[in-house]
Amino acid sequence: MTLVQNPILPGFHPDPSIVRVGEDYYIATSTFEWWPGVRIHHSRDLANWRLQGHALTRDRQLNLRGVQDSGGIWAPALTHADGLFWLTYSDVRAFNGFAKDVCNYLVTAPSIDGPWSDPVPLNRSGFDPSLFHDEDGRKWLLNQRWDFRPDENQFAGVVLQEYCPRRKMLLGEPVLIFNGTERGVTEGPHLYRRDGFYYLVLAEGGTGDAHAVTLARAKNLAGPYEACPHNPLLSSADNPEAALQKAGHGSFVQTPAGRWYLAHLCSRPVGANRRCILGRETALQAIEWPAGSWPRLAGGGQVPVVTVAVPGAKAEPYLPEFHDEFASETLAPQWSVLREAPAGTWLSLAERPGFLRLRGRYSLLSTFDQSLVGFRLLHHRCCVSTRLEFQPRGFQQSAGLVFYYNTRQFHFLMIIGRDGGGRELRLLNADCGAYVNLLGPGILLPPDGPVELSGELSGETLRFFYSVPGAARQPVGPALDATLLSDDRVIEGGSWGFTGAFVGLCAQDSAESGIPADFTNFSYRAEQALACAEPAVVATAVAST
């Protein structure tokens, strides 16, 4: 057995849905407003995971233009049956206030690498859809049901409805099968059949500190379902000392040897305010499930553990280093963009080989037309750098390095044009919709030539640096509060957030000048990787399906 360190997928990897096909394990995670949609990781041993690709990669599959922060693709559920991969997910168009404007979809593929089909619309009654393949070959859709009435329980239970793959449609009427437990906020349903019972695995308690995985079971598919007497199966509520907080939203997988595991989301707070910069991450727990009995965490209790024993090879760190010299004509799969597929009008890797060329569009405040390419922050201590060549004509053109959570939360080190000519560095801070220039008039730069931009994250603190040819690296501005880049800070500001922090390369141009910003030599290094001999992961591109 190998001891694996949690989280197995650090950084923004929420709502994990795990499935095994033969000797291969796959995990699908939510991507929200980021393109491409639905990240899929692969492992042969549950210990070592690599990014396999994405399921939603075409315009006909995904249109997120204008979707609000933390809207978009929620809670994918990945299954395998009849020689196909089946993936259900929610596309959330709006969720503030009393309504949840959402459509649930299904895509299929003969291989995990695709091609994935065009989406089949399923329903709009709620979110977090999951497809269950029963032993008789029939297929059933489950999802959380949403009640828009503010004076009612808006998390109005789990509904079940048959799906016909031949006709690509739902049949009959949805049936309410479970109202949830007293913890409330019932969502994220998954169904498993074992030893004559249908087991319903649920996320409850909300996405914060009270989050949990709960269980119910029934002899018949449509119920009645009995709540597990020792609920919750998993939760870090009331255990503030636990390293993995906000634990919940899980799914089961069984190894070829018959062992059971739970993949679930979690977060790791830092600082006095206990904010989670890296967002909601994916962890793994061992499960004991005697025949006819309820599953429980191996070793007892309900609190997730940091290390878990799995059968397999030695576990290697997840992506401790990543370097990209932009030598390909397509982006490496580790990159994401906001709300739309890359287009040659604003992003090119071919016009100037060895460079990522961005042409600026709208500001970082916009939910349309952002020229931003983002890499997930995976470690609480890391160093990021890039070299930028950019010749703005004036203050309406800007480009640089951004540590980004959403349109209201970011730290942006940018090169802009000066009035009367020349260039300068500025540092823009965004917190709960308040935008502050931290450098006053800015730092004067040479009129031309490359500028090295870098950032160092150390726990709750972020510092920026810059250098120009022939000069030493210099700090830029004060030490910054990195915990602003968190769900927690967004919620403190009266909104909702469900994603995680990125480091991004971006450009803006309100004058539509077409002036390019050329980035190269992007480097990401975790601090713990610097003193060890782990090999760097060098960017490799994959063709979109």
- Ramachandran category for residue 494: left, alpha or beta (phi over 0 → left; psi -120 to 50 → alpha): left
Active site residue 15: yes
Could you identify the residue written with the tokens 């979690």? 266
Q: What is the DSSP string of 363-387?
A: -TT-SS--EEEEEE---SEEEEEEE
Cα 231 from Cα 216, distance rounded (Å): 9
Total Cβ atoms within 10 A of residue 161: 17
Residues 6+ apart with CB under 8 A from 191: 130, 132, 140, 142, 198, 199, 200, 201
Cα 255 from Cα 287, distance rounded (Å): 11
Q: What is the helix (H) or strand (E) element at residue 123, kind and residue range?
A: strand 120-123
What is the Cα–Cα distance from 496 to 420, expressed in whole angstroms? 42
Q: How many CA atoms lie within 13 A of 131 on its CB side?
A: 32
Query: Contact, 25 vs 44, CB < 8 A?
Result: yes
Rounded to whole angstroms, the Cα distance separating 221 from 139 reads: 11
Residue 42: closest CA among 337, 374, 318: 318
Separation in Å, CA 488 to CA 192, 250, 265, 496:
33, 21, 16, 9
- DSSP for 324-354, please give it: E---SSS--TTEEEESS---TTTEESSSSTT
Pairing of strands 537-538, 321-324: parallel
Helices (H) and strands (E) in the chain, counts: 2, 41
Which residues on neighbouring strands pair with residue 200, listed in sequence order? 191, 216
Cis peptide before 224 (omega within 30 of 0): yes
In the annotation, is 512 catalytic? Answer: no
**Residues 33, 69, 91, 187: which is the catalytic one?**
187
Catalytic positions, written as ranges: 15, 187
